[in-house]
Amino acid sequence: MKTLVNRQFDFMGKRRIAFAISAVLLVASIVSLLFQQLNLGLDFTGGTLVEVRYTVAPSLDAIRQVLEQAGFRDVSVQTFGASTEVLIRLQQAFEPDVGEQVVALLRADGDTVELVRAEFVGAQVGEQLRDQSGLGLLVALGVVMLYVAFRFQYKFAIGAVLALFHDVIVVVGIFSLFQFDFDLTVMAALLAVIGYSLNDTIVVYDRIRETIRTSRIDDMPAIFNEAINLTLSRTLATSGTTLLVLMALLLLGGDMIHYFAIALILGVVVGTFSSIYVAAALLIAVKLERKDLIPPKKEELEEGEEELP
């Protein structure tokens, strides 16, 4: 057994403020999703995709402006692999000569442009992708709940799953609020956020369980503060190094993974916050006690009482 050491940060003492912040984020996200909805990309809505190749890296803004002036609507332009490979997404019905039309417009400024492909993504395919992606998220959360309940205790599973729901809803809500493009790369980022946040939560939970078993007090907030402070340096180092890589992807990765990087950056920040102030603090709300992890010892036989065979 050990006594708890006073730490610098009283995380649990600020949990009500953190809960208020989380509630505001969740409400804003849900309201935005209900009334503004997501700005779904071509992967989900269907439309036309045109890939062209330049000899010299072009200006994406100039390409977008030329196409919009020609009457094309909802134009998305991004590099695809090399800086000379450009992927153009048009949210409109497919026409057999749409590729040639686009190339003719782009060649009007004297640029050398080659058509690589032009194809149509049907709305039915987009709907299937949307449904299957949503189902994948639900399955992932269900598996997480079973895993945490088996490894720890069912109260831990409740906290972990609610924290993951919190992370996903907040990230998706921010995409809805600012009308960022939501496509399959962003959906993949959400699954990565679930994995990252769960890993961070498991580390905190493992330390909480160990601290409960080795401490001499029953003050859960004090125990949680001890456990979180013991993992704080690890959490900050992991989050900080991950954010450095993601910032590099955001700034240097090109348009193809721009929103993928944004989703992951938001997920890391929100996931780090939720590991402390949602996943851990919820254990107090569900009244986690020492006896939930340490079964009561068998009563010792009274002096002189013989043990039954």
Average pLDDT over residues 190-216: 85
CB 193 within 8 A of CB 263: yes
* 236-285 pLDDT tens trace: 898 999 999 999 988 887 777 888 999 999 999 999 998 888 888 888 88
Q: Which residue has the tokens 């921010």?
A: 174
**Measured distance CA(188)–CA(192) in Å, rounded:** 6
- 158, 292 Cβ separation under 8 angstroms: no
Residue 134 has pLDDT above 50, yes or no: yes
Pairing of the two strands 39-40 and 181-182: parallel
Phi, psi values for residue 39, rounded to 5°: -90, 80
- Lowest pLDDT segment from 115-119, 159-163, 207-211, 292-296: 292-296
Which pLDDT does position 298 carry in this prediction?
47
Segment 187-196 mean pLDDT: 86
Q: Please give the model's pTM, rounded to 2 decimal places.
A: 0.76
52-56, 79-83, 101-105, 219-223: which range is least confident on average? 79-83
Alpha carbon distances (Å) from 238 to 10, 137, 173, 216, 296: 21, 24, 25, 31, 37
pLDDT of 127 reads: 65
Strand partners, 39: 181
